[in-house]
Structure 1
Amino acid sequence: MATLWLLIIFGAVIALFWTSRQAAEAAKEHAQHQAEKLQVQMLSIACKQRRLGILRNGKPGIKSQFTFEFSSDGESVYYGTLYLENNRLVKADIPPYRIT
């Protein structure tokens, strides 16, 4: 019985890690798309918050918040925020930035 619980816990950890990596890859693609749309240079992306919750469609899933750095002139750095539910972009907060 202990072996069964150990396998279930091990499987849950692997599944959580896998979905976490999928969300990170999706966030990177969304950030690159936002940078292309704004015609700025994306510098980096980092996960700010990740938690389990009920998504907008009523199903359980992972809600993530990613912060990405971008530059419009090569000197200034601005921080945008992406809100994801699983791999889907829900909202993007882009601060005002200098256009060159």
Structure 2
Amino acid sequence: MATLWLFILVGAVIALFWSSRQAAEAAKDHAQHQADKLQVQLLSVACQKRRLGILKNGKPGIKSQFIFEFSSDGETVYQGVLHLENSRLVKADVPPHRITT
């Protein structure tokens, strides 16, 4: 019986790790899309917050918040925030930034 619980625990840890990696890859893709849309250079993407919760569709899942840094002129760095539910982008907060022409 203890072996069964051990397998269930190991399986849950692997599933949580796998879904965390999927969310991180999705955040990188969403950040690159935002950078392309704003015509800025994407510098980095990092996870700020991750938790289990009930998503907007009513199902359990992972809610994540990622910070992405970008530059519009090569000298100044700005930080935007991506809010994800599993790997779906819910909201993107982009600060005011200088636009170069």
- Per the normalisation by structure 2, the TM-score is 0.99
Mark the runs of 5 or more structure 1 residues left unpaired by the alignment.
none
1:6 to 2:6 alignment:
yes
Structure 1 residues 12-27: aligned runs within 5 Å: 12-27=12-27
> Once the two structures are superposed, what CA deviation does each residue of 1:44-68 show, in whole Å capped at 9, x if it has no partner?
0000000000000000000000000
> Once the two structures are superposed, what CA deviation does each residue of 1:13-42 show, in whole Å capped at 9, x if it has no partner?
000000000000000000000000000000
Count of residues in correspondence between the two structures = 100
Structure 1 residues 38-77: aligned runs within 5 Å: 38-77=38-77
Amino acid at match of 1:11: G
Mark the runs of 5 or more structure 2 residues left unpaired by the alignment.
none
Identity %: 81
Whole-angstrom CA distance in 2 between matches of 1:95 and 1:43: 15
Structural RMSD (CA): 0.3
How many angstroms does 1:74 deviate by? Answer: 0.0
Deviation beyond 2 Å, 4+ runs, structure 1: none
